[in-house]
Chains A and B, each alone.
Chain A
């Protein structure tokens, strides 16, 4: 018989507001096996934990129930407290009377009644708890960073600096990400390339960092401390070890009509290319979709001019498998496609562009060598209209309900830079709200308005109509309540940002959860912002939500710190709640092994003594504790009921069901 203690937390008024905690504690005194029951303001506080510890010692408790917030919040805290006074941590059960009771019910009677049932259910379960111990497995001291943008680079550099090897997997031929396409950064206006490229070079030269460019993660197995990842190295038809990055091939290739994605299709590149001058690694890549040699077998110019002999038309995709202790997701973002926003005439006129395209137009390495010229006729625009929130804060099907966060600031930057370089240009910005929280952000925006004379107009643009070489912008000014018509030369749309398309399949591989917008969810929105709920998976940058560069870098370093904290450990505690087979009941049918996603179940021949004193050899299942993740799929499959899950056993769950239905 267990000796159970029940501890009811008030959580200030969070619980006590709608649950009569005293009544719950009182009611529990009459439950079978409960020898001690009390309530306290904050059970998770030191004083609260001491109450628990003292009661365990004084009343020789063999199991405790804490009625408090979600076990996802403080289960670990209370387990630790129990362990410190010699009670097995798995003898602790939590009754979730905050998130699943007091916070959802408005009146005391309902809340209290439900809380009592939840507490009683936990008591019923704890009666059947058994002390559990967990084994340990060694941690692979190597990290993987998926995505080589500024987030991935920063995370990798920090981990590498702590002395651990890191691999970066980047799907494009070069690392650098979106930041490499940006011209200047707000609010300091320093040049993005000048602060990014040194980091890219650092990453390339750091002996702890290995960059797999033009590669993708194609499979993930294992668990925290021991991931096994398959990386697909896409064929770039250039031998990475031989290519010197001289770029001769990219000048001589006769296939000149390939849209240049680095400049967002505003100019063209060759079929063999290096994305940009500071690319890391600086290695040429053949675009198989356009290469004449690969398509027709006739050409071979690049291989002729290559003095290093690096061109290899027979290269195939290659798959490599590596082991990692931790994985960081840094897959970043993309601006949304604007085809659903035809009121802005994006597809009809070349002079309606996105902000990222504008960024390339003002960049010295861009298609116009940094001169602000209209894409249609190469003329200098005299009137520019910026439209904010294109697709952001838009609750329609085609839009994104969230705020993309960075657009207000980069639009202010674009407007300011335009006025500075071309003071004869009139600049209009249409906005719903201007949101500038951040260090020196509001000052920056005000400078755009006050010093640079940018016309900020609160209101939405209804329609953009291309007419001759002008763009007629129809909009409403919400403050003066007027309809406006502006004949603009250039319209710039601040497109909403969304997670990269590769994030969703990756989340599935990593079994990391995502929200409805495909941003990765964090383990706790406030307290564990850089960890995914899946142990060993960490989040860095905009894959978790829209972020500007400083925030991305901060989060990247935070993720690195978490990874380092994991990799310094030599061993990881395994999950103690693992499956276990009762060999007396097992008939060796193999059903459990078939449903196990981790190959944790194997079979051994075992000798059994029969009642007549003879022995018989039978095949029985054994679970590898280090590999079992404790999902319980096998327990339900087992036809003889031999398989059970520790911590969530059949009996325990049945007892919970009974207690609820009582």
Chain B
């Protein structure tokens, strides 16, 4: 039996009002998703600076996902629209640099969508696992 030993490093930025609560709900409902996902709480998806995403890849992350409220439902009204636009630009630039589009994602998960959160994470981890390790932007100096 061949076991895939590769465990991707996934950074998930979740807005405090919807997606972080959605992640909590996934936990409350005991919905399983891989431990490779680590969540960073941000007030709103618009708080995610493209630099954070770059930093993650530089430090050896294999995938970065940004989760926010559904369009129109952002706690700060328009934050997720900014996030969507910024990330679209950033992701296409990353794609150009050789970070496959599948390694980056923006998803809308509401506070009531625990199941969607878990499903999204399962899917994302599976996709990134298939792609394998990300070496493109990794700064080897950061490796001890």
**Interface residue ranges, A against B (CB under 8 Å):** 70-72, 96, 98-101, 103-106, 110-111, 113-114, 117-118, 121, 507-508, 511, 513-516, 521, 533-534, 577, 595, 597, 629-633, 635-637, 645, 648, 650, 653-654, 656-658, 660-662
17 cross-chain CB contacts under 8 A: A72-B21, A72-B24, A96-B39, A100-B27, A103-B30, A105-B35, A114-B35, A511-B76, A514-B112, A515-B112, A595-B78, A595-B82, A648-B43, A650-B49, A657-B55, A661-B9, A661-B61
Q: What A residues does B30 contact at CB under 8 A?
A: 103-104
A-B pairs with lowest CB-CB distance, top 5: A632-B47, A99-B27, A515-B112, A661-B59, A631-B76
**Interface residue ranges, B against A (CB under 8 Å):** 9, 11, 16-18, 20-21, 23-28, 30-33, 35, 38-44, 46-52, 55-56, 59-61, 69, 72-79, 82, 86, 110-113, 118, 142
A437 to chain B, nearest CB (A): 23
A662 to B61, CA, bound (A): 9
A102 to chain B, nearest CB (A): 8
A581 to chain B, nearest CB (A): 15
Q: Is B47 in contact with A513, judged by CB distance below 8 angstroms?
A: no
Q: Which residue of B lies closest to A102 (CB)?
A: B27
B19 to chain A, nearest CB (A): 11
A558 to B47, CA, bound (A): 35
Q: Is B41 in contact with A511, judged by CB distance below 8 angstroms?
A: no
Q: Which residue of B lies closest to A111 (CB)?
A: B35
Q: Is A99 in contact with B43, judged by CB distance below 8 angstroms?
A: no
A409 to B42, CA, bound (A): 45
Q: What A residues does B18 contact at CB under 8 A?
A: 513
Q: What A residues does B23 contact at CB under 8 A?
A: 99-100
Q: Which residue of A lies closest to B21 (CB)?
A: A72
Q: What B residues does A507 contact at CB under 8 A?
A: 73
Q: Which residue of B lies closest to A653 (CB)?
A: B52
Known interface pairs A631-B76, A633-B79. Does A104 touch B46 (Cβ–Cβ under 8 Å)?
no
Q: Is A513 in contact with B24, judged by CB distance below 8 angstroms?
A: no
Q: Is A630 in contact with B43, judged by CB distance below 8 angstroms?
A: yes
Q: Is A635 in contact with B47, judged by CB distance below 8 angstroms?
A: yes
A72 to B14, CA, bound (A): 13
Q: Is A661 in contact with B60, judged by CB distance below 8 angstroms?
A: yes
Q: Which residue of A lies closest to B28 (CB)?
A: A99
Q: Is B59 in contact with A657, judged by CB distance below 8 angstroms?
A: yes
A595 to B142, CA, bound (A): 34
B110 to chain A, nearest CB (A): 6
Q: Is B52 in contact with A100, judged by CB distance below 8 angstroms?
A: no
A661 to B7, CA, bound (A): 12
With A513-B75, A533-B111, A631-B47 already in contact, 9 other A-B pairs whose C-beta atoms are closer than 8 Å: A101-B35, A632-B43, A633-B78, A635-B49, A636-B49, A648-B42, A648-B43, A648-B47, A661-B11
Q: What B residues does A635 contact at CB under 8 A?
A: 47, 49
Taking each of A513, A597, A648, which has the highest tally of chain B beta carbons within 10 Å of its own beta carbon? Answer: A513
